Amino acid sequence: MFEKEFNIAILIEKFQKGELNNAQQQELDAWLAADQANKNLFQSLMQEAELKKKLAALHQIDEQRAWKKIHRAVWKMEQNAKKAPDSEKGTFRIKWVKAAMDIAAVLTLCVLGFYFFQTSSYFKPNSYSQHSADVNPGSTGATLTLSDGRSIKLQDIATGKLAEEAGVAISKSKDGHLIYDLKERDALTDYAMNTLSTANGETYHVTLPDGTMVWLNAASTLRYPARFVGQERRVELTGEGYFEVAPNQAIPFRVETPNQEITVLGTHFNVNSYLNEQVEVTTLVEGLVKVISGKHSRSLRPGQQATVAQEISVSQADIEAATAWKNGMFVFNKEPLEHIMRKVARWYDIEVVYDGVDTNELYGGSFSRYENVSSVLRKLELTGGIHFKIEGRRIIATK
């Protein structure tokens, strides 16, 4: 319905950049001629002062607050959808709900009865939960987006050279990791930003143009220039990454996450900055880093970690636990169940539902990440007090 208007906005933008071709210029002129109001709008959009005011208005808008609301509403919807007898989402549901209001009541009773019946079998002394299906662990994979917008699925592509940006050759090595190789000596000022993104269940390893190595955990994104230019080496991270930074005293390495900025002088450290976790945690293995968030800044010694929420608090770290993922392990050290299950969910690309279980209860243990999810869950069950049931890509935790 508003297609024409969307197009006019694009034309005006091109006009400002001086990129209009003849046909487009004519289209814009036609729109301007059609109505005085159009001319007035156009003129106001060409004035810097007006533009600045409007941009400021746009800038004031609080995205975070709205997103939290939306996220919560969506989450509630998904929870309700799961409780419904027929959890098949999509167009079916709309018709179904309208037509079957009465039947729903009866069916719900039946379903509850069925569940109750099932759980009683769990009280048998030697039975572990019956797993009707199992879920494979995550694997090596990621999507690389080049500066021109092209995106490449790294697991599908063959080894060898993938592309070249800003005089840097990008290739996939035999062991399945991404390497940036400086080919041309002269520094270009072109900002070729690349984005490496992993989905749930994926992990990848990249060597940046300065030799820094980054391991990305599941559901994470790293944004960086194809070539580092200038007084600093800067990358952006959402999710979790383990960094081994190539030393360079003159040009500090900086990692920017939604809530903090970490300055590094050549070290090994882990950053955990998922959007659906309350805090961001940076753990230093070796070397020296400084963490800045808003007005706060703290320096870390090896073995320490910085937890960033409203402020930064520094504490002793369990290095093994924080970096276990990179070595193919899960190590949980007295962590709340919910926290553990979120990590499991990201790696196995599943969802977890809690049925009468205290999600704050602490659990511990260490397991390989490369086993199927049933082995991990079975080990957690051995600690007692919890049972898991796997239904396709959903795990139900019960007492």
* DSSP reduced 3-state for 205: strand
| C-alpha to C-alpha distance for 347 and 240, rounded to whole angstroms | 12
399 binds another protein (CB under 8 A): no
CB 303 within 8 A of CB 330: no
Q: Which of 25, 29, 43, 52 binds another protein (CB under 8 A)?
A: 52
Residue number with CB closer to another protein (4 or 150): 4
Q: Which of 21, 22, 23, 48 binds another protein (CB under 8 A)?
A: 48
Q: Which of 32, 45, 100, 265 binds another protein (CB under 8 A)?
A: 45
Q: Which of 29, 30, 33, 35 binds another protein (CB under 8 A)?
A: 35
63 binds another protein (CB under 8 A): yes
Q: Which of 27, 236, 277, 371 binds another protein (CB under 8 A)?
A: 236
> How many chain residues bind another protein (CB under 8 A)?
59
Q: Which of 24, 38, 145, 147 binds another protein (CB under 8 A)?
A: 38
CB 300 → another protein: shortest distance, Å? 18
Backbone angles phi, psi at 165, to 5 degrees: -135, 135
CB 218 within 8 A of CB 200: yes
- Beta-bridge partner residues of 308: 280, 312
258 binds another protein (CB under 8 A): yes
Q: Which of 139, 155, 173, 294 binds another protein (CB under 8 A)?
A: 294
Residue number with CB closer to another protein (261 or 338): 261
CB 354 → another protein: shortest distance, Å? 19
CB 332 within 8 A of CB 321: yes
Q: Which of 21, 22, 23, 58 binds another protein (CB under 8 A)?
A: 58
Phi-psi region of 394 (alpha: psi -120 to 50; beta: other; left: phi over 0): beta
> Residue 306 is inside which H or E element, if any?
strand 304-308
19 binds another protein (CB under 8 A): no
189 binds another protein (CB under 8 A): yes
Neighbours of 189 (CB within 10 A): 8
CB 204 → another protein: shortest distance, Å? 17
Q: Which of 145, 147, 297, 372 binds another protein (CB under 8 A)?
A: 297
Q: What is the DSSP string of 257-300?
A: -SS-EEEESS-EEEEEE-TTSSSEEEEEEES-EEEEETTEEEEE
Q: What is the DSSP string of 337-376?
A: HHHHHHHHHHHHT-EEEEES--TT-EEEEEEETTS-HHHH
Residues 190-229 that bind another protein (CB under 8 A): 191, 199, 219
Going from the C-alpha of 360 to that of each of 275, 317, 345, 377, the distances in angstroms are 20, 21, 17, 17
147 binds another protein (CB under 8 A): no
Nearest to 143 by CA among 181, 179, 175, 178: 178
Q: Which of 69, 150, 301, 399 binds another protein (CB under 8 A)?
A: 69
Dihedral sign for Cα 171, 173, 177, 181, please: negative
Longest distance between any two alpha carbons in the chain, whole Å: 83
CB 170 → another protein: shortest distance, Å? 21
Q: Which of 70, 97, 99, 109 binds another protein (CB under 8 A)?
A: 70
Residues 88-117 that bind another protein (CB under 8 A): 89-91
Footprint on this chain of another protein (rule: CB under 8 A)? 1-6, 8-10, 12-13, 16-17, 35, 37-38, 41, 45, 48, 51-52, 54-59, 61-63, 65-67, 69-71, 73-74, 77, 89-91, 189, 191, 199, 219, 230-232, 234, 236, 256, 258, 261, 292, 294-297
